[in-house]
Amino acid sequence: MSLQTKTAYTPEEYLTIEREAEFKSEYFNGEIFAMAGASRKHNLIAGNTFASLHRKLINKGCEAYMGDMRVKVSPTGLYTYPDIVIVCDTPQFEDSVFDTLINPLVIIEILSPGTESYDRGKKFENYRALPSLIEYIMISQNRNYIEHYIRQPDNTWLFSEIRDMADGIQIASAECELTLEEIYARVPE
C-alpha cells in the first residue's frame, strides 16, 4: 500500500518528505511505502549481528550501519533501509546530508514473515544492480539459518547456506567472520 495519496513522487520529493518524517518509508518508481515495525526476534538478531560486526570491523577501514542508513540503488531508483549495511574504504553518499549511502559492499537483511518474499525476490533483484555490492546475506528469524550470496567475477552469484550453530559465515569482502551463536544469542526459539 502506498503511503501518500499523490500519484507519483520524484526522488527529490521523497527525500524531502522522508527527512522530516517521524517514521521510515521506502521509495520506488514514484511511490512511497511505509515500513512496518520489527519483532523482538528481528531486533535481537539485528542487534547481535551489528554488535559483532562493529567490534570486528572497527580497525579494518570498514563501517557498519544498522537500520537507519538509507541505501539508494542508483541503477533502479530504489531507496531502502537494509537491516545492516557494510561499506569499506570511503563511504559515498547521494548528497551532502550523508544519510543515503550509494556504495554498500555488504547488505544484510533479517527475514520477516511479511517481507521474506520481497527480500528474496524484487529487493535482491534491485540490490544486484549495485556495482559496489559483493555480498548479500539473509538471516532467518524463525530458525537458525543464513543464506549467503557472493558476487563472482563474471557477475553471477554464488549461493551458500549455514544451518549449524557451530558454523560461521565468512564475510570475505569485509575480512570477518560471524558465528551463528553470535547472531542468534538469546533469541527465543
- 164: in domain: yes
- 141: in domain: yes
The model carries a pTM of: 0.93
Domain that holds residue 144: 38-183
CATH number of the domain at 51, please: 3.90.1570.10
Number of domains in the chain: 2
pLDDT in tens, 102-142: 999 999 999 998 889 999 999 999 999 999 999 999 999 99
Same domain, 64 and 16: no
pLDDT in tens, 66-100: 989 999 999 999 999 999 999 998 999 999 999 99
Q: CB under 8 Å to 69, separation ≥6 — which residues?
A: 81, 82, 85, 99, 101
- 60: in domain: yes
Same domain, 81 and 136: yes
Same domain, 114 and 178: yes
Same domain, 97 and 171: yes
